[in-house]
Amino acid sequence: MSKRKQLSRRDLIKAAGIGALATTFAGCQSVANPGVGYRRPYSRKPWVAPRVSMDNVIREIVGHRPYRPSGFVVKGEQFDDKLVVHNYGHGGGGISLSWGSSALAVRETLGITPGKVAVVGGGVMGLTSARLLQDAGWEVTIYTRDMARHTTSSVAGGEWGPYSVHDPAVSTPEFKSQIQFAARIAHHAFTTLGGPDYGVHWTELYNLSETPPEDGGEFEHLYPFRVDLQPDEHPFPVPYVRHELTMMVEPATFLRRLIEDFQQSGGKFVIRNFANKEEILALPEPVMFNCTGLGAATLFDDTELTPAKGQLVYLPPDPDVDYLTIGGGNSNLYMFSRTDAVLLGGTFKLGDYSRNTEPEETERIVTEHQRIFSGF
């Protein structure tokens, strides 16, 4: 057994109780000039612009978020002698909510003597559900069509922020309470995993807007060190900039470590594709977790579930770009600097099942980010 730290179920149960820069931006180049320009509110390093250009694009990808306007589903459902615990439909907040939503799902098994359990789905919800079930004494088999690196979870941005999860005009007060609960559990869990083992670290986030930021947001209490910058205190081409600290979860590292923990704890994978819920209910395990994401639309007849297509653009990694941005353009813009890439997003196209990248979207994403960093 590895001596590296693993997230304890006790941690979740406990939680549930509860710059200096002036640069010339020409083409795709940027050069830091420490000591001149703006002072960052938290970091003592200069602001450095990412090298944004079409010539610098190394990859374009598409992912489909499993979105439900009324919010994600966590509930137990009895089918004769089989208990199915649903845990799916988290929109753009899958990784962010993973530990919290999975803790709520595992809570559906309280009172049942642990035995064999099937988890259907090998993305982040399936893996975190499986790990918490193992900590509760269950013998877990994950049945999945694809390993984690081929799931939607692997193409997530990774900034901790449970947003684009539901439509507040549609979701119920009960769901709004549930997502708050799940977010608090998940946030606490990720704060215990900081460091390279799980790919979790704290970083600066700049929210860019043409309109004044609103106070009292859903999760603002989970973002420390909040500062609103005046127009003469930042290099961005927008009048309103809100600075916060947030966590970055590197999807490749996090998912790889979850798989390792799962297997070291005795878990097994079975590669299998299910055509309908009858095939799932025919599994030998008396308890099963439905963590199939968008697949639940077909497998369990969820007509509300729909894809939210996201298109992302990858640039080479740049360690000098040590912050994140959200907003600043016409729609769904963000820049996340990770160890594997500088990630530019994106889109949020409801009902679009296409797996093809759209050249015009790539050009829009790149062009709008060039404008955002033109003042560096």
Domain membership of residue 224 (yes or no) is yes
Domain count, the chain: 2
State pTM to two decimals: 0.89
Structural domain including 211 reads: 30-65+202-248+308-372
CB 200 within 8 A of CB 172: no
Q: 120 and 169, same structural domain?
A: yes
Q: 260 and 176, same structural domain?
A: yes
Domain membership of residue 103 (yes or no) is yes
What pLDDT does residue 170 have?
97
Domain membership of residue 318 (yes or no) is yes
Phi, psi (rounded to 5 degrees) for 263: -70, -40
DSSP state letter for 29: B
Q: 170 and 257, same structural domain?
A: yes
Rounded to whole angstroms, how far apart are CA atoms 179 and 165?
Answer: 9
The DSSP bridge pattern shows strands 334-337 and 349-350 to be unpaired
Q: 225 and 167, same structural domain?
A: no
Domain membership of residue 41 (yes or no) is yes
What pLDDT does residue 346 have?
87
Rounded to whole angstroms, how far apart are CA atoms 19 and 295?
Answer: 46
What pLDDT does residue 96 have?
97
Angle at 347 (CA atoms; ends 231, 163), nearest 5 degrees:
70
What pLDDT does residue 19 have?
34
Domain membership of residue 12 (yes or no) is no
Q: 341 and 353, same structural domain?
A: yes
- Those residues of the chain that have pLDDT short of 70 are 1-36
CB burial of residue 163 (10 Å; 0-12, 13-18, 19+): middle
Domain membership of residue 5 (yes or no) is no
Domain membership of residue 148 (yes or no) is yes
Residue 112 C-alpha from the chain's centroid:
31
What pLDDT does residue 13 have?
38
The CATH number given to whatever domain includes residue 292 is 3.40.50.720
pLDDT tens per residue, range 237-248? 999 999 999 999
pLDDT tens per residue, range 343-353? 999 899 999 99
For residue 257, give the nearest of 194, 332, 347 by alpha carbon: 194
CB 133 within 8 A of CB 126: no
What pLDDT does residue 150 have?
85
Domain membership of residue 9 (yes or no) is no
Q: 285 and 350, same structural domain?
A: no
